[in-house]
Amino acid sequence: MPHLGPLRRRAWAALLGQLLRPPSTVCTRGCHSQVAKAVLTSEQLKSHQEKPNFVIKVPKGTRDLSPQQMVVREKILDKIISCFKRHGAKGLDTPAFELKEMLTEKYEDNFGLMYDLKDQGGELLSLRYDLTVPFARYLAMNKLKKMKRYQVGKVWRRESPAIAQGRYREFCQCDFDIAGEFDPMIPDAECLRIMCEILSGLQLGDFLIKVNDRRVVDGIFAVCGVPESKLRTICSSMDKLDKMSWEGVRHEMVAKKGLAPEVADRIGDYVQYHGGISLVEDLFKDPRLSQSQLALQGLRDLKLLFEYLRLFGIADKISLDLSLARGLDYYTGVIYEAVLLESPAQAGKETLSVGSVAAGGRYDNLVAQFDPKGHNVPCVGLSIGVERIFYLVEQKMKMSGEKVRTTETQVFVATPQKNFLPERLKIIAELWDAGIKAEMLYKNNPKLLTQLHYCEKADIPLMVIIGEQEQNEGVIKLRSVASREEVTINRESLVAEIQKRLSES
């Protein structure tokens, strides 16, 4: 019988069993159908074993990350997380999916962007849209009144991906939040300080953080004549001003959402304003806006915020921008969004525009929506756009031709002779025990040239070489891969010598 897979062998065995069965045991009826069934099974197996007719790819809006990309990504995340920890945050993790009902009530205009999961076990679930709502649910569920937390995790949004700008359907968020009752604007100012520290530390270029207050936004809408029933949906349109011109946003407000043209024009008078503390002072005197008590509350907090930002030394990085709205419905106070600025050196060249790279704000009423008794926990936080930052860093590295080392191996254990695997295993175990990152080839008798090429290709700085002569003399060779210089040291001094060299590098 030719070489066949196990399923085919069973099919052929069944067929041969029918054909070769002794006459006394062969049935008089149905044997032909049994043979046909066995042959059919064989044909089905053959069809099943053919290659599937589909393109192997990742889903739209997602991607694999290569080892080189993971090195860059982990460096970015390390800088972000270290900043969060420097400001006293505790780590937290929540499930990738939550109850669908819980999520849809919190996002309203954006609930159509959520990924729903098939009903299993009697629960309707959706993949999380961000990390803020799960955090609020966690606070309410555990009856926590104060917490400073950070969280890094993937979120999912069912929207048209724009991968060229770092926009995905599955992406990572890094969040920092302060929950609890505190004096006004102190936690808010710290969040903006953290945002500045991270963006400066990542060396992405010059940046600006736009600041506004949802109470000011709602006040503008009210004095301009936006019906209360349209406040949230008009706010969602205004949030698109970072991607669309005012003319495009105005068209959406009027043609698609039924806002009166004269009301949209009044809003347009305000969205052009941006500045610092002086703009806050001017808005206090605005005859139309000063009629809104809600807007005046927001302006008072913004004035205090700018004073704290001056003391933190970051006021020059912050701009009050009345076009900023932040479309998510749970924001109640100060809101902010960081954008990268085009430097003079980039003028006239192709720019790496990715929109905002960080955003956040105050959401004082979200926790109460989860608490059965309506107990409230005021919160403020920020989210770092890791994917967009990663896209920028990756593009800059490509332009500069910077190479990335994909492993952190410090020492390679090698031999120029046969039958030295036991000695190599002893040495590498000794290095691992000392916390040294070490590798060796998984071969009994590798060629020395192959080992040298591996070290050079992987940029491993040091090489330990053991052979018959070294073993007899109780010494070992230590080779610098870059300079190709070799020194002979006592076998007992190996770990100490390697640690000394690594500390000096």
- Residues contributing to the annotated binding site for L-histidine: 130-132, 157, 173, 177, 326, 330-331
Q: Which helix (H) or strand (E) holds 287?
A: none
Please, what sign has the CA dihedral across residues 146, 315, 322, 171?
A: negative
Whether 261 and 248 have beta carbons less than 8 Å apart is answered as no
- DSSP assignments along 326-358, one per residue: ---TT--SEEEEEEEPPPGGGTTS------EEE
Strand partners, 210: 319, 337
**CA-to-CA distance for 404 and 378, rounded, in angstroms?**
43
The helix/strand count (H/E) of the chain reads as: 17, 16
Q: Which residues contact 473 (CB under 8 A, 6 or more apart)?
A: none
Residues making up the annotated binding site are 130-132, 157, 173, 177, 326, 330-331
**CA-to-CA distance for 425 and 293, rounded, in angstroms?**
75
Please, what sign has the CA dihedral across residues 57, 98, 139, 362?
A: positive
Task: From 320, 231, 306, select the one nearest 272 (Cα to Cα).
Answer: 320
Whether 219 and 267 have beta carbons less than 8 Å apart is answered as no
Q: Please give the angle made by the CA atoms of 203, 204 and 207, to the nearest 5 degrees.
A: 110
**CA-to-CA distance for 32 and 421, rounded, in angstroms?**
62
